[in-house]
Amino acid sequence: MDPSDEIARLESVVDVLQKRLRDAGLDASIPDVPASNKNAADETQAANAQAEMPQESLVSIAHMDEIKSLKAEGNDLFRSQKYREAGLSYGKAMKIYTRADQPIDAKLLSNHAAAMLAIDKFVAAAFDGQRSMENDPTWWKGYWYRGQALMKMLQNKPPSTAMAERCEQAKIAFNQCLKCPTLPDNKRSEVEAQLKISKNVLMQMTTDCPQS
């Protein structure tokens, strides 16, 4: 008999014996899955677990401490009315999410929007507010700062279709803000007041806007 055939026959006999031992519960040391297959299965399970992990968790594993530190630094600077420096700290934290190809935290975006609004960077503030709204539709400050930034853009501008569109967007933002479950009760009247202003300005603009 060819040696390779004999080896194959012996391997087959061993496989049968191992199966019988496992079925009888007599040899717990024999794995049910070959080691190579088990390793592959473990790797697949780990990959699936990572795929199911929330995106924020993927960032937090390696970088959340740094993000929290930068956010706290920005908050301290903002409270000290150092708005530009606060914006830089928030911006650094935002870049960590971007480098990890993950959505930026909505509260961090709204903080950056507030800093931009404070230094009259209205386009940037409106953009950050929009992204905050998109990343967490329940977070009220995204709508709030977007609405304020859009209204600020109207200052000292003559009525036009473009300005009327911005006012309409601000009105929508304030209206959506009022629907947010996270909106504090003590802020509701302030948002309602801004909504009323946006409606009045829009009505005036519609009247004064040149007709094409």
pLDDT in tens, 152-201: 999 988 888 899 999 999 999 999 999 999 999 999 999 999 999 999 99
CB proximity list for 140: less than 8 A, separation 6 or greater: 177, 180, 182, 183, 184, 187, 191
Structural domains present in the chain: 55-207 (1.25.40.10)
CB proximity list for 9: less than 8 A, separation 6 or greater: none
Residue keyed to tokens 């800093």: 115
- pTM passes above 0.75: no
- Phi, psi of 46, rounded to the nearest 5 degrees: -65, -40
How far is 89 from 93, CA to CA, in rounded Å?
Answer: 7
Lowest mean pLDDT among 3-17, 42-56, 79-93: 42-56
What mean pLDDT is reported for the chain?
A: 82
Q: What type of residue is 66?
A: E
- Quick one: pLDDT at residue 21? 53
